[in-house]
Amino acid sequence: MTLFTHLECHECGAHYDPKQLQRFCPVDNQPLEAKYDCKKAPDKNVLKDRSWDMWRYREMLPVFDDAHIVSLGEGMSPLLQANNLDYGFSNLYIKDEGQNPTGSFKARGLSMAISKAKELGVKVSSIPTAGNAGSALSAYGAKAGMTIHAYMPKQTPEVFQIDCGITGAKVNTIEGNISDAGKQMRADMQDDWWDVTTLKEPYRLEGKKTMGYEIAEQMQWKLPDVILYPTGGGTGLIGIWKAFKEMLEMGWIEDIPTRMVAVQIEQCNPIVQAFENNDSGSFPYENPGVTIANGLRVPHAFGHKLILKTLYESKGTAIDVSDEEMHRGISELAKAEGLFVSPEGAAVWEAAKKLLDQGWIKEEESVVLLNTGSAYKYIENMR
Ligand X SMILES: Cc1ncc(COP(=O)(O)O)c(C=O)c1O
- Helix H or strand E segment including 353: helix 343-357
CB of 177 to ligand X, least distance (A): 12
Site mask for Zn ion (CB under 5 A), range 17-46, x = bound: --------x-xx------------------
Determine the Cα–Cα distance for residues 360 and 240; give it in Å rounded to an integer.
21
Using CB under 5 A as the binding rule, the residues of this chain from 56 to 85 that contact Zn ion are none
Partner touching 25 among Zn ion, ligand X, none, CB below 5 to 8 Å by kind: Zn ion
DSSP per-residue codes, 134-169:
HHHHHHHHHHHT-EEEEEEETTS-HHHHHHHHHTTP
* Position among 153, 207, 295, 329 found at the interface with ligand X (CB under 6 A): 295
Q: How many residues bind Zn ion (CB under 5 A)?
A: 7
Determine the Cα–Cα distance for residues 315 and 261; give it in Å rounded to an integer.
9
Partner touching 27 among ligand X, Zn ion, none, CB below 5 to 8 Å by kind: Zn ion
Which is closer to ligand X, CB of 89 or CB of 378?
Answer: 378
125 - beta bridge partners?
Answer: 148, 194
Which is closer to ligand X, CB of 130 or CB of 185?
Answer: 130
Determine the Cα–Cα distance for residues 327 and 117; give it in Å rounded to an integer.
38
Q: Is residue 235 at the binding interface for ligand X, with CB under 6 A as the rule?
A: yes
Partner touching 130 among ligand X, Zn ion, none, CB below 5 to 8 Å by kind: ligand X
Determine the Cα–Cα distance for residues 76 and 331; give it in Å rounded to an integer.
25
Q: Is residue 310 at the binding interface for ligand X, with CB under 6 A as the rule?
A: no
Query: CA Rg, the chain, in Å?
Result: 19
Q: Is residue 102 at the binding interface for ligand X, with CB under 6 A as the rule?
A: no
Partner touching 373 among ligand X, Zn ion, none, CB below 5 to 8 Å by kind: ligand X
Q: Is residue 207 at the binding interface for ligand X, with CB under 6 A as the rule?
A: no
For residue 193, give the 3-state DSSP assignment.
Answer: strand
Ordered strands of the 124-128 beta sheet: 170-174, 147-153, 124-128, 193-195
* Position among 71, 100, 102, 104 found at the interface with ligand X (CB under 6 A): 104
Determine the Cα–Cα distance for residues 337 and 353; give it in Å rounded to an integer.
16
Interaction site with Zn ion (CB under 5 A): 9, 11-12, 14, 25, 27-28
Interaction site with ligand X (CB under 6 A): 104, 130, 132-133, 198, 230-236, 295, 342, 344, 372-373
